[in-house]
Each structure stands twice: as structure tokens, then as C-alpha cells.
Amino acid sequence: MASSDLSKYRNIGIFAHVDAGKTTSTERILKLTGKIHKSGEVHDGESTMDFMDQEAERGITIQSAATTCEWKGHRLNVIDTPGHVDFTIEVYRSLKVLDGGIGVFCGSGGVEPQSETNWRYANDSEVSRLIFVNKLDRIGADFYRVVKQVEDVLAATPLVMVLPIGIEDEFTGVVDLLTRKAWIWKDEKNAEDYTIEEPPADMADQIEEWREKLIETAVEQDDDLMEKYLEGEEPSIEDLKRCIRKGTLQLDFFPTYCGSAFKNKGMQLILDAVVDYLPDPTEVDPQPEVDLEGNETGKHAIVDIKGPLRALAFKIMDDRFGALTFVRVYSGELKKGDTILNTFTGKTERVGRMVEMHANDRNELDYAHAGDIIAIVGMKDVQTGHTLCDPKNPATLEPMVFPDPVISIAIAPKDKAAAEKLGVALGKMIKEDPSFRVETDDDSGETIMKGMGELHLDIKVDILKRTHNVDVIVGEPQVAYRETITQKIEDSYTHKKQSGGSGQFGRIDYIIEPGEPGSGFNFESTVTGGSVPREYWPAVEAGFKKMMGRGVLAGFPLLDVKVNLFDGAFHAVDSSAMAFEIAAMGAFRQTIPKAGPQLLEPIMKVDVFCPDDNVGDVIGDLNRRRGMIKSQDAGATGVRIKAEVPLSEMFGYIGTLRTMTSGRGQFSMEFLHYLPCPRNVAEEVIKEVKEREAAAKK
């Protein structure tokens, strides 16, 4: 389909909390738009979008699948994003390539911890959104309560566009406030079997009250309309829609709908809203271009078919067809057989096959242009976040920043056959997920996987087993500790080696002191009078920097150290950069143990949601885990507890929480900062490391 009218394009993502029903909502959208004839259910394990075995089994979407469909002459590119916290990197990545989104909330669960994180990401990325309150057929569902939560918890303004008719088992349809008409669905199986009629008489007052709210909020976007409205003139539906669109694009408010995706009720209105209120690719602020160092050039990738090619690889997937690189084209056009440049690697690649995806089916394409989301088959060196552009006119779209992993596990192949496959499989997995890292431990030769949380690594082990048929033995999870120093030490070190021929000589006088938290490694030289010539300063810095990777307590990397070189001595013949570098390395080994070295541990920001009855247990348990309780907020369905807890104490937390709350508790966590370990904990960690190293040497 080569339509080039960009105003008819909508690139949207659906994001929400685990179990709010976003995959089912996506399914229904595809069914209504004629893409699937039979819609699968997640709990039967056969939904179209979740086609990885792990997804179907766990009922969670791990990878964001992208699919294309049509509604009312508009082309919708829908990206289903994961809701689970360990995959928020996926959400973040998907949001970057979207123009608008639908935030799905559960009618009974409301705004849950994870939805808050995702909402915050979407705010950061300035994505316009609609809100869909799903599962109104569930026991305990309350549309008005969720609307209130959106205001209170997310601090957003929901613009209520429809009201539900009946709740829980009685939920039959919705009233469209703009037209004052009721949409009633008779048959739960068939979304297209509905009637539009007059709304129930007992809702008349409620409809007028909410309609008035809607108009008052909408006309704020247009001063002339507002004046007329205040004088008693009712704005036309066209004018209102125009105002709603403007406010939605500016993120002033979020049009809010409701329904039940599972029961096929209310979906058409949300699709209409996508077309009516979400932006097309040209209405979004264009991506800034940067040079190779990451500095903004002041230019932007303007969405224009005639412009130079700019595209961003936002996802790599390896499926049964080979490696797929999902790409969002921001400007220019892409044809089969074109040569494109990857600015990250500096290499060019030929575009062999291009396909548009529909979950796991694909249609071959010869051509794509600005605004499209497509997949390219068989790209070699492309990773997530790389920019693909015109070799004659290169530019990079902003580089993506990925957080450092905080948890690692050692894995070992079960047998020789697995050993051969393991390397290839891990290589593919790193390409797909930049927040996942793999290293080899130099001492023990073990393969170490690093990631963002326990579940993240669990799933990786699972993918190894199933997708790549590699059986591995998994070690205990290890926390990424760091080290630092607590005292300021002034010291001197001389490196001297004179044994015939040219010798080596370098003396440095220096101060080592603790740096500001989060400052990493800082080096400055205040040498005057040439006692250490300027050309040797970089060598001294390099020597210290080299040693920062391995601390003296237990060999963890060092953080937040400041070194000041203030004096020293050199020899006209025997001094070299090498000699000063070795002097710095010797100085590190000599001084750091004296500077009060200290172990640091990663502290996580933990957000727990639990029922009222279990609050005491949950807080008691967090305290036992050395947590600091920061706040507790009572909500309608339970209590939100925010705490800061050391990662080492959070292993197996999900199991404990579920047991305490009979399965109703949920939590999310993200890395916050490093803090000093209490002495007893530090001693334990150092002892463990020493024992591990001794065992590895045997």
C-alpha cells in the first residue's frame, strides 16, 4: 500500500500495567480492522501478538510486536509494548518511535505501580495519549474511581468522552458524550453487532453534567469559542473535536474511553478517537539530529518523503525467518536494493528484503517512506538504537542511553553441544536487548549474564532453553557491588628500574580523596614548575583509571574517587610515559588500602502495592530487608508503599509478596543509587568473593 498522504498515518503504541488487558485490546483492534478473523485469547495462550512460547505461556508480552492495519481510510501502525517492569527498556524504546499511544487501565485494579512508570516515560518522551479503562465487566470495576486515580496518581487531566451503561455483569455499552447517543453491544462475541440508540433515561442528568465538563475543558483551547460558550452558545461537534485534538497534541488532557476488550464492547470508539485525536507523523516534534560525538547539530529529521533518509532501528528480533530489524523511517524513502549507512558502525549495508509485519506474518514490500514502521530482513551489524541514513548525507538521530545492569548470574553449558551453541545464542540476544550484557570472568572463565532484575535474567535463561535449545546450569544471582574510599590521603610513589641500558624512572606525589557521589573518576594535575612534565600527565591519569576497574576489598569496580597530582620528579633520560603509568598503578595499590576502602551496594527504588489487610506484614518484611520506607498512600483498592531497599535483599521478593498478600500484591523496582554497605554485610560479601576465588583456583 503506497499511500503517501501522511495525515492518514497513525503510529501508536498500547501500553499498560501487566494484566490490564493491552494485548487483548490490540487483538480486538486487529479484528475490527479486518486483520484477524478469529481473535485469540491470552489466557488460552493463543493471541496473535504474543507469538514467542514464553509469552503465550506466561501470559505476558515480552517483546513489542509491531503490526499494521486500517481504519476508516487511515493506516494504523500498532506497537504492543510490554508492561512488566524488567522490560521497561522495551517500553522506553517503543515510545521513542511512536507518535501517540493508548494507556490501558484495568477497571477494577485502576492505576497500578507499573502504569505509573510507563506513564512517566511517556511524559518524558512527550507522547500524546488516549486513556482506555478496560475490564468494566469485572467485579469491582468502577470507571469513575479510575478517572479520579488518573487525576490523583498520575497528576494528569482525563477528558471523559464516554460514560459506561451499567457496571460489572450489567455492563452493556457506553454513551458517547459528544453526540449524546448510546452504543449498545448485544453479542459479546461479535464487536460489530451493536446498535446506536437513545441513552437510558435515568442517566440524563449524569450525561449533561459530564458533557458540560468536557465542553468546558475543550473550549479552553480556543479563545473565540470560549467567549461564545460563556455567552451561552453551544459549540458544534466539529469545533469541539478540533479543540480536543489540539489539547491532546499539546498533552493538556487525555481523552478517556471505557469498555471491555474481552467482551468486545467499546472498541470502535477508541479506534475513532485514534483517527480523530492522535497525531500523524508530521504533527510530532521532529527528532533532533546529532553528530558522531552526540552533540546536537541544530538540524531535525523533518518528516518529509523528499528529505534525506533518516531511520532508527528500535528493535531486533530473531525469529524463524531470520534476523528482523524493526525500523521507523523518520524522513526520506527506502527502496529494496538501496545502500544505507549505519552511523554507529560507519559501515554501509544493502537493503535486501523489507516486510511489514502483522504479528508473526509478513507482507513483502519494495518501498517505504517517512512515517512507516517496517522490518528489514538480514541486516548484519545493526543493533537497537542505531541510526540508518543516506550515505551521501549522513546524520545520527539521538543516541539511546541504556542503564547499567545491576544483577548478574553465572551460567555454564550442560555439555559440549550446548557450549558450541551458547556463544551464538548469546550474541543474538545481546543484539535484541541492549540492557542485557554478557561477560566472561577472566579468573574462572565463567560466562556471566547481567541484566535489570531477576525476572529479566529468568526469561533470558528461558529463551536460551527454548528458542535456542541451549541447556545451561544457572548459578546464584550476584549483585553488582561497587567500592569507594572514605578518607583523604596524601602520598608519594617512585617507580625506578635501572639495570643497564635505558632505565625507567617516575616519581609522583599525589592526593587521593573521596569524590562526590555519582562523580565516577576525576583526575586533575596542579603540578607547577615542570617537576612532572605535562606530556606525562595523561599517562598518570591512564594508570589510575586502569586500576579503577578492580577495587582492593573484593575486586569490584571503584566509584567516586578524585586524584590530584601535585608534585613529583622525572629523569631526563630514563623517564617515559610508560614509567609514569606504572608509577600510577603502583601508587593505586599502595594508597587505596590506606584510604578507608568501603563496599557500596545498589539501592533500588521499590514500589509495592498491597491490600489494606497486609500493610503491616509488607512493611515489616521490607524493614527486615533493610529497607527505608519513604511513603505510604492509601488508594481505593489497597496501599502503595514506596521504599528504598538494597538489591541483595530483594531476591525472591515476588514469591514472598504473593504469599503474604494471597497473590494480590504487586511491585516494581528500578535502580536508584549506590550506598555504603553496613559492616556486617560487607564482611560477608568479601568473604564470599574470597571463597569463590579460592575455589576457582583449585
Report the b/e string of 308-323 with b at 16+ CB within 10 A: ebbbbbbbbbbeeeeb
CA 528 to chain centre: 48
134 is in an annotated binding site: yes
Euclidean distance between CA atoms 407 and 386, whole angstroms: 26
627 is in an annotated binding site: no
Closest CA to 387 of 376, 398, 374: 398
Q: If DSSP codes are grouped into helix, strand and coil, which group holds residue 229? A: helix
Euclidean distance between CA atoms 295 and 288, whole angstroms: 10
304 is in an annotated binding site: no
16 is in an annotated binding site: yes
Closest CA to 581 of 565, 602, 596: 565
Angle between helices 267-277 and 237-249 (to 10 degrees): 70
CB 461 within 8 A of CB 429: no
Euclidean distance between CA atoms 114 and 108, whole angstroms: 15
Euclidean distance between CA atoms 25 and 264, whole angstroms: 9
423 is in an annotated binding site: no
20 is in an annotated binding site: yes
567 is in an annotated binding site: no
386 is in an annotated binding site: no
CB 54 within 8 A of CB 62: yes
* Cα-Cα-Cα-Cα dihedral sign, residues 299, 300, 305, 308: positive
* Lookup: cell for 128: 500524546
- Rg of the chain over Cα atoms, rounded to whole angstroms, equals 29
* Lookup: cell for 157: 487531566
82 is in an annotated binding site: yes
- Residues whose CB is less than 8 angstroms from the CB of residue 397 and which lie 6 or more positions away in sequence, other chains included: 287, 288, 289, 290, 301, 310, 312, 330, 387
SS3 track for 409-473: EEEEECCHHHHHHHHHHHHHHHHHCCCCEEEECCCCCCEEEEECCHHHHHHHHHHHHHCCCCCEE
CB 674 within 8 A of CB 602: yes
- Residues whose CB is less than 8 angstroms from the CB of residue 464 and which lie 6 or more positions away in sequence, other chains included: 411, 422, 425, 426, 429, 470, 472
As beta bridge partners, residue 631 has 642
74 is in an annotated binding site: no
Range list of H helices, 325-446: 416-432
Q: What share of the chain is helix, strand, coil (3-state, %, to 5)?
A: 30, 35, 35
* Lookup: cell for 547: 586500576
CA 294 to chain centre: 20
CA 690 to chain centre: 36
81 is in an annotated binding site: yes
As beta bridge partners, residue 63 has none
For residue 657, the surrounding DSSP H or E stretch is helix 653-660
83 is in an annotated binding site: yes
45: left (phi over 0), alpha (psi -120 to 50) or beta: left
323 is in an annotated binding site: no
* Lookup: cell for 243: 479543540
136 is in an annotated binding site: yes
19 is in an annotated binding site: yes
Residues within the annotated binding site for GTP?
Answer: 16-23, 80-84, 134-137
Residues within the annotated binding site?
Answer: 16-23, 80-84, 134-137
